Structure formats: structure tokens, C-alpha cells
Structure 1
């Protein structure tokens, strides 16, 4: 093992000590015996850190892997911080988990560590969606909460989403403060693993009923649901937690013709029918789409493993099913909510919508059309939740979300909420069907009114230590060599969120960006096109987002315009990737 540097070797040796259990030491010894230098390096070169979605990584042995010790250390650090923040109080946390391999056992471990620290734990006794955990934190009056999930990552991953008392994932200063507490733990002996059993309170399906009832109160057009209660809906949980809530919520909403994709109905952390359990991926949606075609469905829905994201397929003008992207789904939701609220004279009490900096500007156009303020946040729904908490009762959150298939209508939770979005997507489909329109037709109406937007996301995967260094170098190179044009179109503004500055290329004038620092670069062209470069906070990827726009004079021109815009996007992307 001479290939490991001294610091790495010391960390490996520590994990071989008697502090760690026999199974951990045996698994590590196998890597050593097989001279797995790259795997050992990637497993130990750093400690897992909180990103936009919390702690997330590949399951295995090491400080940079998800295992009982890294999860235990994170929980002990959070427990220590909670005790400092809420002295002389009864501290309560909620803990839930998804369908991933080891999620349940890790959830139990988290509950045990909290309980061992004298903290009262509301532990879900079965897997549940992430938004239900967010809801439960506020319902039970908890100071914090933890969700064991790696969202839509491949099966090798698991993760740990940490929440504050508002039901939102940790934001500043709590995120960095918790990391400080976690980093202060240098020995397994500092982690309390032995629980006080009476501190653990099991949570059953009683919380589901409350969550469902509160969601049902948000319905905007119950009369449309009643008129279209036999709307043909196909739903797939993609082997995840959506099966526990979405069918019940749709039934409570009033829909009685929901068909489940049986091949993907059973929770299974191996995700046997897909490579990536992500509704952004066409392959993950394939079985749901196929069932939709067989049943001639009105709407096809699919949620990711922890049911905070949802993808849909709808019939296009040729009668075949087409997947909509996250920007399109979100724009339809924003338009439906705002237009319906205006129709009912309910755009009052300082309403607002929220989108992230890489989400389509079509949503801003729609908000402006209805004279409703919109806010932009950094990528990561925790920033939307943080804004909701900050504005509190002084304004009314209506709808918002991310291009990565995460949406929320109403303010019951402080995270993206796929069951909530599924109900509204179904209601929206029913409402427009009552008016003789499909969601596809409504989307083209939006494009005619506000301009046709075309977006593309390119994700480059760069794994391990070498990958992290490559991503860092790519961003450094972009900052050092700012492109003057993209696809032959002049860049007029650069927004550097890491340095909190927007630069006018022609004048050199700089404006301060009033958002937290984040490693994101945006390039705005003279045409109003936007290209963003952003390393992911939860995956070993760097992401490039492109959005372009052109007038759509007639629906019959849509296909041709799409092709032209797609060509433009590819030309621009080629100059930056």
C-alpha cells in the first residue's frame, strides 16, 4: 500500500483499529489485500460534506462513504449542535427513510444516536416520502429532522438530508455550524450509539391522513375534478416511497381511475427496472409511458425514490405520449395556479412565486403577466424553503420549483413535494380537459403568448478525487477565459455567483448579486439566451444549462421552431463544454 500518501494511510489505519466493528475492518482489509488504491483513495481522501441536498455518497467503508460511522458522526454532530441551540429544552426530531438499500437500518441508527443523546425521536415505522418528513417536523413541533435518502441517484448511493425546525433543509448558518460540530468529532468513542428506548416514538400512517387532508384543502378547482373523476391516470413510484402516499392522495382528491405500473410498484433499493431511478431520464419513464399508451391515459406520472420529484408524459398533437421537461411542467403549474387564483379573485395577501437561477425565465414572464412578484434563489430547494420561512406571514407563497422536476404548490412543507405536485398536475389536467384542452395544447398556448423557450441540460460525470479536481479546474478555466460569444452570439453579461458580481461586458460595470455565494457562472447573450455552468452539490457532476427563446407565431410552426432552437442550443453549448 505504498501508493497511499501518509495522511490517507493514517486514516485507513484508524479504520482498522478496534474502534470500528469487525464487519467494517474486514471489508476494508479486502480493499487493502486487493491493492484497490483508487477505491481506497476515493473512500478516504476527504470526509463527506453537506451540499445542496445534505450528505450524499456511495455506500461503503471510509470517511467519504455512507456507512454507520459517517452517518453516526453526522448525527452526533447535529445532536451536539441542537443541544447548544436549544439549551434546557425538550429537543424533538423526526426521522424517516426511503426504499434504498440500508435506508431503514440507517434510519434506525440515526434514531438511536439521537435517543442516546437524550433527544426525543419521532421515527417513522415504514418508509415515507421526503415531503412527509418535512411536514412531520412542523406538525410535531420538532427542532430538526433527518431523511435517509439519496433521492434519484443510482443504487450504490445513499444519503442524509438534515432539516431545521421550519421543515427546510439546513441553510446558513446552521449548515456550516453543524459541519463544524461534525468535524470536531475525531473518534468513534465520541458517538453515542446506545439508545434510550423510551426516547423513540414510532410514527404510523396517522400522519399520512393529516398530510393528505391538509393537501386536499389546497385544491383550486374541485368542481373540475368532480367532472373528470374518471380521468385516466397512470402512476409509477419507480420502486420508491411514492406508492405509500400518491395513490391515496389522488383518491382523496377525487380521482378514481388511477392505474399503477405494477413492475415498479414494490419498493426496492436495487431499482431492478431502471439504471437511474430518476424521472428526468427517459428510460426511467419508459414503463409508465408504455402503460399510458396501452390505457390511452390522460396523464402519466412517475416519482423518484423519495418522492420529492415527479416527471410526466402527456399526449401531443399527434396523439402519442411525450415527456415534458422540468421547466415545462413547472411553467404549466405556475400558469395554472396564477390564472386560477386570478379567476377566483384570490391574488391577494402579497402572493409570490419562486424559481431558481437555472430555471426557465418563462415562469418569470408568467408571474409578471399576472403582476405577481417572483423571486430567484440558488439551486437547491432549501433556498426556496429558506425564503418561505423568511417572508413568513408577510406574504403568501403560491407555487414554485426547480427545473430538476421539483415543485411545491402551497406552503404545507418547505421542500419539493411530488405527491402534492401529482395532485395538482392531475387537477390541472382535469380542469383543462373540461375546457377541451390537453396539457400539451396549453403549453403551446403559453409559448404563443410568452415566447417559445427551449432548454437543455448537459451533465458531465467526474467521479472520485480526480473528477472533483477536474470539475474545479473547468470552473477556474471558465473564470479565467470568459467567452465573448457563444454559438456566434455576443455575450453581454456574466454573472459570477461565487464572487457575487454581475459584469456588463461592454462597459465593465459591476453589480452586486444579493444571494449567498455559490460556484455558478452564467452567461447572458445579446439575444437574452442564458447558459449556466454549475458543479452539482449532491453528485459527482458538473452541469451546463442552456435556455433560448424565440417568438411562436402559430402552433403549426412549433416543430420547426423547436428544431431551429435546438440547433442554436447545440452551437452555444459546443463553445462552452
Structure 2
């Protein structure tokens, strides 16, 4: 096959003595046996997306390896020195259960230390939210976590956190990327200064657990906590390090762990995907729940920032909640607790994202707080906390099964969210109710919202081009009517415009640019198209809603909304 000269130039650079023999041998093997893999490995440089940098492990510029991560770390070291010229720099590093995470974590630590930067490294895997917490707790200038979240086993990744414990946001991300791209691989300092590398474990664990219990506990009686029966799975990931510890510390004694999935394992052998967004991932936890008659089920992804939740419905059957449902339940409970405590003064806000349920806006309005809506990714919610110090952050989430309670952690946090959901479930059970009933009553009070997601996978160079073309087509040929409803507004975040199709008026969007399109229909429906920033996918988000007078109206309303979503999908030819 023909390989472009620009790719061959990169390949030849990697065959120089800057790169170790093992790397060079792997490249030579690909050159003879698999030119297609060679092209995929070198056709571009790995990029920072919504959740840092993720990619397949292997050799090449488009792969996760010691050189691509070494270059990132060298660039970040240079940037930190320029940003804090008179300070002794400190960074924290954590990693998850994935293959090579511990080795890559150590390489990153070596490069930082070789640059004279003090490193606090966890000696074993830890949840991502604990790293976010540790950055602030240890007064670090930055933090790194090695994780590919819920991606398949062949992936790994590199997330960068700043002083506030939040992920990198503009303009810093762009500035750091520029520094990295201007570096040569020969400039990476790999020789560790051992005296600057310090292992941190129990002290940070204890502080993180205490902080979580303080932030996510709300006057639940000891007996209610003891009476809540929990089924929990870590899906072979890192949450096993902290979730049982935090629940025990908070007083939850009936915690039942899926034994087959408790052992961390980067192959994730018992699931097709270690992603709690996928219903199949919680199959074993649901089976355990039925066996022991549990009240609630939790599952987390490998780095423990996402959580899946299942609760019993009125017939006693376990049903999975989606990310929008868990987000509104937790947010509503927090708002109620803050109001009870007299802490809502008009200077508070909740956070959400442009692809999440509009029900969050209704909650904010109902409790007289602000709802700040940003792009996908918790780095934007963390940025709101930093940008509006005069406002208190209550909590917030996004549809992709993430939630953040308060501001001690500045990223999505399954550890704190699980404890908060336990508080809600325990109090509801003690009062003869349930999480399911709690959600149903919210639909009566704030409107019945139903969301749905379609995710189309398009791998490799061809897939990336196909996704790009789909977005171009939707921009160049915008629809004016869907399912018999007029499109009244189109928001194009790439062009930063919101166009009213009825009046022709165009407003400028203040949210940073991103490749996202949102259609708003005259019946309140919302359709969003967005290429994923971390996976080879294009995602379509649907939100429909209607008003209901009582809980008894829900079954019929749900049928109608489900049909509406089916009609929209069929008309857009996405099924």
C-alpha cells in the first residue's frame, strides 16, 4: 500500500537512536507485516480531547507510549517552570488498573523529577477523583492521572489537572499543547531524580475519605444507613480502593460486593465494556441484587469517575437509571438540603452541560439558584467554580453518568456520588418511599423529561473523515422541520452562533467553540450532534418532555415520549 511521505518522515525519525531498540524493532516489524497499522500509528499526533489524551497503546505518534507521554510531560514541565518561575514546583500522579498504567505513571514521575519538580506518586492504583482532591490537598501546581476511563483494554490515557484540581481548560491547554508540539523527542529528560519522588497513600486516602463523608452526608440516621442493602461492583477498576472504605466510614454496613469483579484487571474479563453507561456492564451486580434483595445497585468505571445506578420500581423490579436521571435526583436532593439549612441566598449555582437534560434548568428555577451550562466535560464545571468565586457551587453533573458534590473534588466523582445516592435511598426507605418514587414526584413537579443517546462508532482514518463529513452535511443542509415540528433555533458551537429560524435573528454564543450542533423544536424537544472528544464516535442526544398532573400519568406519557424519540430517529435516518 502507498504511505504518504509525511508519515514516512515521522517513521524514520522514530528509527533514530533517540528511540530505544525495542521501539525501533516494533516499527520495523510493522513496516514488513502490517503497513496499515504503521499508517494508523503515525498518521497524526495524539490530541487532547474532552477528557485529556486517550489512545491505543503501542509505538508511534498516534499511540500511548513512553515517548508520547514523555513529550507531554517534558512540555508540561517547561510550561510549569515558565508559569511559576520562583516556586518549588510540585505535581501529584495517580493511575488506574489498566495495562502499563503503573509503568507509564513511573515514567511520567521520572520526567518531572528529571526537570527538578517534586513528585507525589501513588504507589498503587487510585480513583481519578482522589487525584483531583490530592492536587489541592498537597498544594500541587498540577496533577496527572494515567487512565483511559471506560475505553477498551488496549487503550490508555493522560489527564492533566491544574492547581485548583480541575482539568486543563483554555487558554492553558492550548498554550501547553503548543509547547509540547515545539519539542523534539530528543529533548525529553528521562533520567529520574529519585530524591524528588515521594510515594503517597494512606494519608491522602484518609483525607479524601473524610472530605467525601463530610461533603456527601446529610443527617441520615444511623439505623437508616444500616438498613440500606447495597450491591456494588467496581467492574475490575479502582473504586474498590475507596468506595467500601468511604461507605463504611459513613455508617453503611450492608455493602455487598460482586466478588468476580472485585479484583482490578485491565482486561475487564467479565464485561464487554467496563462502562456503567452500558446496561450489560451491571448484569452481575443486578443478579447479586436480586439474590440478596438489595435496595440499590452501583457500578463504576475503571478510574471511578462514572457511576451506574439501579433502583427498585414500584413492582420491586430493579431498573437502571440513566445519567440524566441520577443527576437530577442528586441535584434536587442537594437543593432541598441546602434550602432546609437556610443556605440558599441567591449566590449559589448548579452545573450542567449543553448535551444534558434541560430539566436541570427547571430545578434551578424552582429553587432560585443559577444553572451554569457548559460544554461536555467536568473541566467546564470546575472552570465555573474558579471563574465565579462569589458564587457557591452546590453540585452538578452530565448525562454521561458523572456527578460532582460540592467543590472539594473538581472532576466527576463516583465515590462521593455513590455516598450521596445512598443518603437519598436510605432516607427514602426510612420514610416508606424509594428513589424511584422520589424521581417520579420530581416529574410531576418539574415536567417529565425523557432522554436518549445514539452513539455511532467510526474507527480509524476513514471513520474520522466520515464523522467530519456528517457534521459538515448537517451544517450545510440544516433541517427546518423534524417529526412535524418546526426547528425554531439552531445553535452551532463551532461558529459560536444561535440562529432563530423564525425571526432570522442570530446571536453570539459565549460558550467556547466546539464541534457541536443543537436543534430546538417548537414542542420543546432538543436534538444534539457531537463527535466524541475521546473515542472514535459521533453521538446524537435526544431530549423530549411533557407536563403531567400526577404520577399516574407517567406510563402513558412515557409511551408518547418514547414514540416521539423513535419518530425523530427514523426521520433523521439514524436507525
Do the structures match in fold with TM over 0.5?
A: yes
Residue 475 of structure 1: aligned partner: 471
State the shift of 1:348 in Å.
3.2
Question: Residue in 1 aligned with 2:302?
Answer: 305
Tell me if the contact between 2:233 and 2:285 (Cα under 8 Å) persists in the aligned partners: yes
* Cα separation, 2, equivalents of 1:160 and 1:117: 19
Counterpart for residue 6 of structure 2: 7
Task: Measure, in 1, the Cα distance between the counterparts of 2:141 and 2:487.
Answer: 46
> What's the C-alpha RMSD, in Å, of the aligned pairs?
1.2
Deviation above 4 Å: which 4+ runs of structure 1?
none
Structure 1 residue 66 corresponds to structure 2 residue 68: no
8 A contact 1:225–1:427 mirrored in 2: no
Residue 22 of structure 1 corresponds to: 21
8 Å CA contact retained: 1:130, 1:306: yes
Q: CA deviation at 1:222?
A: 2.6
Partner of 2:402: 406
Displacement of 1:89 after TM fit?
A: 1.4
Give the TM-score taking structure 2 as reference length.
0.98
Deviations 1:195-230 (CA, angstroms, capped at 9, x unpaired) = 100010110121011111122222453333543323
Q: Do 1:224 and 1:427's aligned partners in 2 also have CA atoms closer than 8 Å? A: no
5 Å-filtered alignment, 1:302-451, equals 302-348=299-345, 350-392=347-389, 394-451=390-447
Structure-2 change in CA distance of 1:227 and 1:478 (3 Å): same
Give 1:556 deviation, angstroms.
Answer: 3.2
Report the secondary structure of 2:388's partner residue: helix
Confirm or deny: 8 A CA contact 2:519 2:527 kept in the other structure.
yes
Structure 1 portions without partners, runs of 5+:
none
Q: In the alignment, is residue 236 of structure 1 matched against residue 237 of structure 2?
A: no
User: Which residue in the other structure is 1:101 paired with?
Assistant: 99
In the alignment, the residues of structure 2 paired with residue 316 and residue 281 of structure 1 have an alpha-carbon distance, to the nearest angstrom, of 20
* Alpha-carbon distance between aligned partners in 2 of 1:475 and 1:399, rounded to the nearest angstrom: 32
Partner of residue 565 from structure 1, selected from 561, 566, 574:
561
Shift of 1:557: 3.5
CA-to-partner distance for each residue in 1:245-275, whole Å, 9 max, x for gaps? 0001011111111011111101100000111
Change (3 A) 1:11 1:219: closer
Residues 41 and 465, structure 1, Cα contact 8 Å, conserved in 2: no
The answer for the alignment partner of 1:286 in structure 2 is 283
* Partner residue in 1 for 2:129: 131
Measure the CA separation in 2 of the matches of 1:292 and 1:372. Answer: 37
Tell me the residue number matched to 1:532: 528
CA distances 1:169-202 after superposition (whole Å, capped 9, x unpaired): 100111001110110112x321000110001011
Q: Are the aligned partners of 1:408 and 1:416 in contact in 2 as well (CA < 8 Å)?
A: yes
Secondary structure in 2 matching 1:547: strand
- 2:240 match: secondary structure: helix
SS across alignment from 2:3: coil
Q: Cα offset for 1:22?
A: 1.7
What is the Cα deviation at residue 7 of structure 1? 0.9
CA contact (8 A) 1:57 1:157 kept: yes
The corresponding residue for 1:498 is 494
| CA distance in 1: counterparts of 2:243 and 2:217, whole angstroms | 18
1-structure distance, mates of 2:35, 2:550 = 60
Of 138, 142, 145, which residue of structure 1 is paired with 2:143? 145
| 3-state secondary structure, aligned to 2:515 | coil
Deviations 1:287-311 (CA, angstroms, capped at 9, x unpaired): 1111111111011011100000101
Contact 1:168 1:415 in 2 (8 A): yes
- TM-score, normalization: structure 1? 0.97
The answer to whether the 8 Å contact 2:136/2:163 transfers is: yes
Do residues 460 (structure 1) and 459 (structure 2) align?
Answer: no
Report deviation, 1:468: 1.1
Count of residues paired in the alignment: 573
| Residue ranges of structure 2 left out of the alignment (5+ in a row) | none
Matched, 1:277 2:302: no
